[in-house]
């Protein structure tokens, strides 16, 4: 196989490989896992994968989980549909910078996304390296946020347009977890910035070190969260992938964010995502 980095920040394309070979080849599986730790997102085109093989490739990294709101492929509950059709035109969910499902106590370790059908142009996906986003913060900000914690919620995003009973029931099922603002990768030990579109507020900002008057809390905390959340949008931290049918992306959800660009007119864009269970962030 050949490995070609796509940007200085993250992402590498692997060619001359059918990733399904790794299902029965432990050495190859170990090599791909190591490449994922190095590059954070791996891209491959022209992969001959059905849903069962797709799930098996994802299971090389861990068990799979479903999504409380997305439908799943029949017989493979760990593979969800992310479909945009002319009747269900591009909408508002995946086109915001996010780390998948940080509203879970244990957000996913990663995912394997497969393109089934895509528009001829448009509908790219972008990823951002959140280790760089942390490392390159001004020193005084790094010092300020090292002990900070934040709450993440499914409520204000996926549930906002639902009836209140449904919204509250979902909140009971996934009570907004608290995560560190600076996360340590469980395998590499690298620190990354861990706030995203699901983060609602800091939980331990309001202390005498930061807050003299109430105003310091409301504005200080809001401005800091907005500043930190905006870091994923810095182009130097990003890679952008143009989809073709049968292309896949494998990403490490512990140190990246992603954004599905919805710049295409009403048409079919069909993606299958296998989501891999993760650890509790620390």
Q: Where does this chain bind ligand SIN (CB under 6 A)? A: 82, 94, 100, 113, 125, 258, 260, 271, 273
Q: Are the C-beta atoms of residues 198 and 102 closer than 8 Å to each other?
A: yes
In angstroms, what is the minimal distance from the CB of 104 to ligand SIN? 14
CB atoms within 10 A of CB 45: 15
Query: Judging by DSSP bridges, how do beta strands 72-73 and 191-193 pair with one another?
Result: unpaired
Q: Are the C-beta atoms of residues 142 and 131 closer than 8 Å to each other?
A: no
- In the complex with ligand SIN, the residue whose CB is nearer, 191 or 254, is 254
Name the DSSP class of 221: H
- In the complex with ligand SIN, the residue whose CB is nearer, 12 or 224, is 12
Q: Are the C-beta atoms of residues 153 and 103 closer than 8 Å to each other?
A: yes
- In the complex with ligand SIN, the residue whose CB is nearer, 34 or 266, is 266
The single residue listed with the structure tokens 């790094």 is 142
Look at the chain and count its residues: 282
In angstroms, what is the minimal distance from the CB of 67 to ligand SIN? 9
In angstroms, what is the minimal distance from the CB of 117 to ligand SIN? 12
Q: What is the number of the residue whose Cβ is closest to ligand SIN?
A: 260
CB atoms within 10 A of CB 232: 26
Q: How many helices (H) and strands (E) does the chain have?
A: 7, 16
3-state secondary structure of 257: strand
In angstroms, what is the minimal distance from the CB of 27 to ligand SIN? 29
Q: How far is CA 180 from the centre of its chain?
A: 16
- In the complex with ligand SIN, the residue whose CB is nearer, 94 or 176, is 94
The residues annotated as belonging to the active site are 98, 100, 258, 273
- In the complex with ligand SIN, the residue whose CB is nearer, 197 or 220, is 197
Q: What DSSP string describes 45-101?
A: -S----HHHHHHHHHTTS-B---SSS-EETTEEEEEEEEEBTTB-S-SSSSS-B-TT
Q: Are the C-beta atoms of residues 158 and 147 closer than 8 Å to each other?
A: no
- In the complex with ligand SIN, the residue whose CB is nearer, 137 or 271, is 271
In angstroms, what is the minimal distance from the CB of 82 to ligand SIN? 5
In angstroms, what is the minimal distance from the CB of 115 to ligand SIN? 8
């Amino acid at each position: 196989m050949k490995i070609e980095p796509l940007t200085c920040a993250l992402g590498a394309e692997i060619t001359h490989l059918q990733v399904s070979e790794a299902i029965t080849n432990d050495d190859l599986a170990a090599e791909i896992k190591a490449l994922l730790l190095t590059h954070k997102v791996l891209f491959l085109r022209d992969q001959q994968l059905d849903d069962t093989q797709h799930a098996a490739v994802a299971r090389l990294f861990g068990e799979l989980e479903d999504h409380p709101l997305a439908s799943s492929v029949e017989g493979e509950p760990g593979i969800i549909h992310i479909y945009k059709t002319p009747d269900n035109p591009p909408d508002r969910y995946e086109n915001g910078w996010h780390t998948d499902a940080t509203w879970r106590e244990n957000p996913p370790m990663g995912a394997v996304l497969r393109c089934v059908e895509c528009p001829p142009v448009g509908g790219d996906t972008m990823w951002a390296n959140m280790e760089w986003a942390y490392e390159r913060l001004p020193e005084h900000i790094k010092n300020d946020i090292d002990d900070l914690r934040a709450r993440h919620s499914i409520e204000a995003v996926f549930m906002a347009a639902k009836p209140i009973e449904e919204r509250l029931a979902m909140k009971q099922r996934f009570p907004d977890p608290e995560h560190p603002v600076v996360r340590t990768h469980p395998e590499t030990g690298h620190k990354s910035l861990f706030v995203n579109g699901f983060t609602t507020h800091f939980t331990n900002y309001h202390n005498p070190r930061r807050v003299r008057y109430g105003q310091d809390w409301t504005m200080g905390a809001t401005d800091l969260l907005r500043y930190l959340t905006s870091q994923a949008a810095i182009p130097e931290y990003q890679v952008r992938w143009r989809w073709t049918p049968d292309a896949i992306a494998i990403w490490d959800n512990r140190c990246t964010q992603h954004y599905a660009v919805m710049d295409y007119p009403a048409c079919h864009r069909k993606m299958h995502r296998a989501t891999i269970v993760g650890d509790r962030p620390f």
